[in-house]
Amino acid sequence: MNAVQFQHPAYGRMREVTEYASVAVAHNPGPMTLEGTNTWILSAPHQKGCVIVDPGPGDDAHIALLTQGKRIDLVLVTHRHQDHTDGIDALFAKSGAPVRAFLPEYCRGDGEPLRNEEIIHACGLDITVLAAPGHTADSAMFLVPGESAAAVLTGDTILGHGSTVLDATDGNLADYLDTLEKAAKIGHGLIGLPGHGPERADVAEAAREYQAHRLHRLNQIRAALDELGDDATAREVVEHVYVDVDSALWGAAEASVHAQLAYLRRRA
């Protein structure tokens, strides 16, 4: 989580990242969305159709861009947050492609809820679904093979830069640490295709960085509680610990601190 300059050269176009994955960056930059929400377009070479991962915000120009390319055969959703899902209905209306997510309320057409570790055969690809709770309870990652380089679409579990905020309603640090451990075990040598920011060269390396960051924050929060008292509020802890973060982001940091305090207090 960090602030960014709100310009990006990928607005309004698709950029090829691997032989099977291109990205379109939605023009919704901000402190929580970084340069904007990444919509991923997946398709094996010579295929007429594609899989869209995360339609993004309800932005007409972004949806128009997505529907100007290959025929859309399937839409997948990494998690429920609006910057990833508000475009679902507009994209479904234009493409008719089934939409699949872990939460049934985000599915459309004949799209069924995702199942952990199922393999989706679409557009010449075998896409493995991985439950990835932590950022939200419904978060998913997608493992996609490739001839020259396999990749993991990490959603908001691992970003292109900065750190991830755990959702205030259903974010869970224990789950998140387990998900990072899963990413570290499967991700060696795999490209990370995140929900925000640039691609990561190695998912396992990024996951280990995130684990180290979380453990560092936990140690800082423990030290803060020693000074402030065990009943300190999340806001008091944020103001004590997050001095290295832009104060404009403290509200978001408070959600993560809530999750970290719950984690520590369950283990007290």
Residue 105, both tokens? 């309320």
Hey, is 203 helix, strand or coil? helix
The answer to whether 193 and 146 are in contact (CB under 8 A) is no
Quick check: 23 and 14 in contact, CB under 8 A?
A: yes
- The reported pLDDT for the residue numbered 43 is 96
CA distance 50 to 126: 12
Is the overall model pTM greater than 0.95, yes or no? no
* CA distances, 132 to each of 32, 52, 183, 186, 258 (Å): 19, 19, 9, 13, 19
- Beta strands at 99-100 and 71-76: parallel, antiparallel or unpaired: parallel
The residue ranges of every structural domain in the chain are 14-202
Which residue, among 103, 116, 63, has the nearest Cα to 86 in the 3D structure?
63
Give the per-residue pLDDT at 9: 61
The residues near 52 (Cβ < 8 Å, ≥ 6 apart) are 39, 40, 41, 42, 66, 72, 74, 75, 76, 91, 97
Q: How far apart are CA 235 and CA 250, in angstroms?
A: 8
Q: What's the CA dihedral at 17, 22, 26, 32 to 10 degrees?
A: -50
Q: DSSP secondary structure string, 213-265?
A: HHHHHHHHHHHHHHHH-TT--HHHHHHHH-TTS-GGGHHHHHHHHHHHHHHHH
| Gap between the Cα atoms of 228 and 223, Å rounded | 9
Per-residue confidence (pLDDT) for residue 96, from 0 to 100: 97
pLDDT value for 2: 44
Q: Locate 137 and state its tokens.
A: 């309870």
Please tell me the predicted confidence (pLDDT) of residue 145.
86
pLDDT of 243 reads 85
3-state SS, residue 8: coil
pLDDT value of position 253? 84
CATH class of residue range 14-202: alpha beta
What is the full DSSP assignment across 10-68? TBTSEEE-SSSEEEEE-S--BTTTBT-BEEEEE--TT-SEEEEE---SS-HHHHHHHTT
pLDDT tens string, the chain, 268 residues long: the values are 444 444 466 688 899 999 999 999 999 998 889 999 999 999 999 999 999 999 999 999 999 999 998 999 999 999 999 999 999 999 999 999 999 999 999 999 999 999 999 999 999 999 999 999 999 999 999 999 877 679 999 999 999 999 999 998 999 999 999 999 999 999 999 999 999 999 999 999 999 999 999 999 999 999 999 999 989 999 999 999 888 888 887 888 888 898 999 999 888 6
